[in-house]
Amino acid sequence: MNIREYQGKRPQLGQRAFVDPSAVVLGDVNLGDDSSVWPLVSIRGDMHRIRIGARTSVQDNSVLHITHAGPYNPDGFPLLIGDDVTIGHLAMLHGCTIGNRVLIGMGSMVMDGAVIEDDVVLGAGSLVPPGKTLESGHLYVGRPAKQVRKLTDKEMAFFTYTAANYVRLKDQHLAQPFAQDTAE
């Protein structure tokens, strides 16, 4: 695993958390219990903090970073992600806040200072511009993301289903010896 300290801050992993050996997690990062970080993900808490809640899945090739404090943004923006969040493949989250029970579609981008409230689906390939807030209980799609409709009860139930599915999958991965451990 590439779990790396940076300037005296080492990532903290919750109980039963899984980080694929090809992923990089460095600096001021907290990963919640039963969360998973899949192949080739980069989570870089080098100039601000990153907090990822419980049962959250960060899919392959995603990039998670922060916004540093500077003359144009005196406080910067940490990256804050809630519980039961599924972050699709190739997503880019940068200095934003993601609530609980959110699905971030594959290839989506969420920019500095944006807020996605609880219980939101962000469709694949969408862009959430800096500072925009996506309200709870809706589907958003597009570049820039626009509210399309309210979520159905079935869609609302999907958040905890998919989070639990990835908890089971990461448990299977944790029980499996990695190829480099068995190669001789």
**Domain segments of the chain: what residues?**
2-182
| pLDDT value at residue 183 | 37
Q: Give the whole-angstrom CA distance, residue 167 versus residue 90.
A: 20
Q: Please give the helix or strand (H or E) that residue 29 lies within, else none.
A: strand 24-31
Residue-averaged pLDDT of the chain: 94
Q: Give the whole-angstrom CA distance, residue 31 versus residue 19.
A: 10
Q: Give the whole-angstrom CA distance, residue 178 versus residue 31.
A: 21
Q: Give the whole-angstrom CA distance, residue 37 versus residue 29.
A: 12
- 78: preceding bond cis by omega (within 30 degrees): no
* Residue range 30-58, pLDDT digits in tens: 999 999 999 999 999 999 999 999 999 99
| pLDDT value at residue 1 | 54
| pTM assigned to the model | 0.93
Q: Which of 108-117, 153-162, 173-182 has the highest mean pLDDT?
A: 108-117
* Residue range 54-103, pLDDT digits in tens: 999 999 999 999 999 899 889 999 999 999 999 999 999 999 999 999 99
Q: Give the whole-angstrom CA distance, residue 63 versus residue 43.
A: 6
Residue 80 forms beta bridges with which residues?
51, 97
With contact defined as beta carbons under 8 Å apart, do 78 and 48 qualify?
yes
**CATH 2.160.10.10 for the 2-182 domain, yes or no:** yes
Q: Positive or negative CA dihedral for 68, 74, 75, 77?
A: negative
The stretch 109-123 carries a mean pLDDT of: 98
Checking if the pLDDT of 142 tops 90, the result is yes
